[in-house]
Amino acid sequence: MDPEKPQPVISAKGLTRIYTLGDSEVIGISQIDLEIAAGELVVLKGDSGSGKSTLLSLLAGLDRPTRGVLTVADHDLNKTSDTELTHFRRQVVGMIFQSFNLLPTLNVLENACLPALLAGKSIAKSRSKAMELLKWLGLDSRTNHLPAQLSGGEMQRTAIARALINDPAIILADEPTGNLDSRNGQIVIDLLAELNRKWGRTIMIATHSALADPKATVKIELKDGMITDHS
Ligand SMILES: Nc1ncnc2c1ncn2[C@@H]1O[C@H](COP(=O)(O)OP(=O)(O)O)[C@@H](O)[C@H]1O
Ligand SMILES: [Mg+2]
């Protein structure tokens, strides 16, 4: 092993996910080979149904591969037990969704704190970390608001705080601007780019929009579950 060369933070070989629906099989992704170094900002493109969400779900440990090898931040996701996978989802990756997925009965601060509390951190520590993030995200005046009282942009920024609270190695964003107007979409992309540039976070954004294109250090295009372009 070359000590100079950093180990990839994402490494996939022959990665395949096939969904079985009764007697028929649907290909989610097929035979994906991929290596992503730490610190990249990957933009994942492809038509609807091309496999972007399937790939992100596998990387996030939300789903398991049908075949192939997948290592993310030194975790072999083919071998992890369910308990390890729960830890992985909570602490190693941070996920952001198109539909925000905030808990409607918890306020902004509580939504942001939740993964830290689930990871066993104290209430005081979780709150102070969440406040720090919410301040950076421009949400310090919104901490007591419920999701229903927020704009889409504010909801997505709350989701970013929640994704960051356990200092994940990787941030995965699935169509993060899909429910936002272009101004708020730009704000979200700029925040993700700042996380990447200033703090060296590895980020993968699946998106239809061109907003993230200028920020990409790696571009991947999927078609019918396969990589057709990697630059
Ligand atoms: N849970 C599922 N069950 C069956 N088929 C699925 C499921 N999720 C995705 N698919 C299929 O897998 C393919 C890739 O879907 P997806 O990863 O959602 O693509 P994208 O995110 O690029 O729109 C599509 O043909 C889709 O219909
Ligand atoms: Mg999708």
Alpha-carbon span 139 to 141, nearest angstrom? 5
Ligand 1 atom with minimal separation from the 54 CA: 17
Q: How far is the CA of 56 from the centre of ligand 2 (A)?
A: 9
Ligand 1 atom with minimal separation from the 57 CA: 17
Residue nearest ligand 1's atom 10 by CA: 28
Residue nearest ligand 1's atom 16 by CA: 51
Alpha-carbon span 114 to 93, nearest angstrom? 15
Q: Which of 98, 107, 38, 93 is nearest to 63 (CA)?
A: 93
Containing structural domain, residue 121: 101-167
Whole-number pLDDT of residue 4? 63
Whole-number pLDDT of residue 79? 87
Residue 113: inside a domain, yes or no? Answer: yes
Whole-number pLDDT of residue 7? 78
Whole-number pLDDT of residue 144? 98
The secondary structure of residue 214, as a DSSP letter, is: G
Residue 115: inside a domain, yes or no? Answer: yes
Give the pairing type, strands 170-174 and 75-76.
Answer: unpaired
Residue nearest ligand 1's atom 7 by CA: 19
**Radius of gyration (C-alpha) of the chain in whole angstroms:** 18
Whole-number pLDDT of residue 3? 59
Give the number of whichever ligand sits closest to the CA of residue 174. Answer: 2
Residue 148: inside a domain, yes or no? Answer: yes
Residue 212: inside a domain, yes or no? Answer: no
Q: How far is the CA of 175 from the centre of ligand 2 (A)?
A: 7
Alpha-carbon span 195 to 35, nearest angstrom? 21
Residue 188: inside a domain, yes or no? Answer: no
Whole-number pLDDT of residue 5? 63
Whole-number pLDDT of residue 191? 96
Beta strands in the chain (DSSP E): 10-21, 24-36, 41-45, 67-72, 75-76, 93-97, 170-174, 202-206, 218-223, 226-230
Residue 163: inside a domain, yes or no? Answer: yes
Give the number of whichever ligand sits closest to the CA of residue 98. Answer: 2
Residue 153: inside a domain, yes or no? Answer: yes
Say how many domains are in the chain: 1
Q: How far is the CA of 151 from the centre of ligand 1 (A)?
A: 29
Q: How far is the CA of 206 from the centre of ligand 1 (A)?
A: 14
Q: Which amino acids bring their CB within 6 angstroms of ligand 1?
A: 19, 21, 26, 28, 46, 48-54
- Give pLDDT tens digits along the chain (231 positions): 555 666 799 999 999 999 999 999 999 999 999 999 999 999 999 999 999 999 999 999 999 999 999 999 999 998 889 999 999 999 999 999 999 999 999 999 999 999 999 999 999 999 999 999 999 999 999 999 999 999 999 999 999 999 999 999 999 999 999 999 999 999 999 999 999 999 999 999 999 999 999 999 999 999 999 999 899
Q: How far is the CA of 41 from the centre of ligand 2 (A)?
A: 18
Residue 51: inside a domain, yes or no? Answer: no
The secondary structure of residue 7, as a DSSP letter, is: P
- For residue range 184-229, list pLDDT tens digits in order: 999 999 999 999 999 999 999 999 999 999 999 999 999 999 999 8
The protein residues having their C-beta less than 5 angstroms from ligand 2 (an ion) are 52-53
Is the dihedral angle over the CA atoms 164, 134, 43, 227 positive or is it negative? positive
